[in-house]
Structures are given as C-alpha cells and as structure tokens.
Amino acid sequence: SSANMSTTVETSPIAHEISSNNQVYIEKEVILPTLKYAAGLGAFGLVISTVQNAISEHKHGAAGVFTRTGGTITGYGRLIRHSRNAIALIGGVFSGTEAIIANIRKTDDWINSACAGCAAGFMAGVRAHSYPLAFGACAGVGAMFSIYEWTGRNKGLFHKSPDERKEWTRRLYPNKSTEE
C-alpha cells in the first residue's frame, strides 16, 4: 500500500528510510566497519607494542611483543597496570556503537559520535578497573568526538563557499540575522 511506501523505500538489500526532514537515510553496516577499525587500530597497537618491547630491557626476546606488551594490541593482558592501552578494542567499540546509534536514530550527526565516544571512553575506564576514570573518559571522549563531528570533521567551514558558511551559521543560530 502507499502508506507503507512513505516511510521505507526498498532499492537495495539495505532499507532507505526517509527521516522527518525529508532526507533519505541509508542504514549503516555495523559488523564490517567495526572489524576494520579494530584490525586497523590493532595494527597500530602492534607497532606501539613493538616499540615498547624494543626500548625496554627484558629476557623475552621478540616474543615479548605479544607476551609482555601485547595488551596494547588487543586490550587483553597485563600492560601498564590493568591494560589501559586497549587500542583495537576501543576502536571497535567506537565504530560499532556509532553505526548502531545512527541506525536506531535514522540520522547521521554529532550525537552518534558523542554516544560512541562515551562508550569507548567508558570501556577504557572499565578496563582500567576504575569507575571514576570510566565516567570521566566517557564525558571527555564523548565531548571530544561530538565537537569534532559537530564542527564538520575538520573539513567543514574552511573549505566551504561563503554561501555555504552563511547557511551553516543560519542553521546553527536560527534566531540570529546572518546578513552582512
């Protein structure tokens, strides 16, 4: 019936839904990007673990990358008091949470990044066995990513035309006159 077509349009395996502001929302995939971020940041963690292993004296040899400082890579193991450097785990949590929140809300905006940053920061604090750190990291990382997203992902206003900047300012401050 035509009533059902007003909210969902089937053009591919992923449903496109029309949001309240008449923009089509394309549902984000969750699993593959989460695995990509976790693998990419896990590789970064491997580099960090290798450097940590190389600059410290020990009797573990090359295996020390995984046995001594391997917690940096995945977030599991003993590293710097309760494995605070869970790089791959934090990246996976952030990416997965951002996609899930966007799919639930049917919008792609700064609130998704705030929720994902909060979840990643909270997870890092829990991994450190400190609830005050978890709540503080939730607030700090959530605020940092929401500001980054809200300001245009560092590619925003500087690369826009004057008309696009005026439109952005008009939407940001709806009651203020932007005419100059």
Please tell me which residue, 172 or 32, carries the higher pLDDT value.
32
- For residue 174, give both structure tokens: 């709806």
Q: Is residue 64 part of a domain?
A: yes
Question: Which structural domain, as residue segments, surrounds residue 95?
Answer: 29-172
User: CB–CB of 121/137 below 8 Å?
Assistant: yes
User: CB–CB of 88/75 below 8 Å?
Assistant: yes
Q: Is residue 20 part of a domain?
A: no
Tokens 């400082």, residue located: 69
| Total structural domains within the chain | 1
pLDDT the model gives residue 8: 42
What is the total residue count of the chain?
180
Task: Grade residue 9 by pLDDT with cuts at 50, 70 and 90.
Answer: very low
Segment (H or E) for 9: strand 8-9
Partners of 26 in the β-ladder: 16
For residue range 43-100, list pLDDT tens digits in order. Answer: 887 888 788 888 878 777 777 777 776 666 665 444 344 344 577 888 899 999 999 9
Please tell me which residue, 18 or 78, carries the higher pLDDT value.
18
- For residue 124, give both structure tokens: 């890092």
> What residue type is assigned to position 3 of the chain?
A
Mean pLDDT of the chain: 76
Distance (Å) of CA 120 to CA 32, 115, 161: 18, 9, 35
Q: Is residue 179 part of a domain?
A: no
CA distance 71 to 65: 9
Q: Is residue 22 part of a domain?
A: no
Q: Is residue 5 part of a domain?
A: no
Tokens 């290798």, residue located: 50
- Listed as own residue / partner, the contacts of 101-107 with beta carbons closer than 8 Å and 24 or more positions apart are 102/28, 103/27, 103/28, 103/30, 106/17, 106/19, 106/25, 107/19, 107/25
Tokens 């020390």, residue located: 64
Q: Is residue 47 part of a domain?
A: yes
What percentage of residues in the chain have a pLDDT greater than 90?
A: 26
Of these ranges, 9-18, 62-71, 133-142, the one predicted with the greatest mean pLDDT is 133-142
Q: Is residue 14 part of a domain?
A: no
Q: Is residue 123 part of a domain?
A: yes
Distance from first CA to last CA of the chain, Å, rounded? 49
What's this model's pTM, rounded to 2 decimal places?
0.64
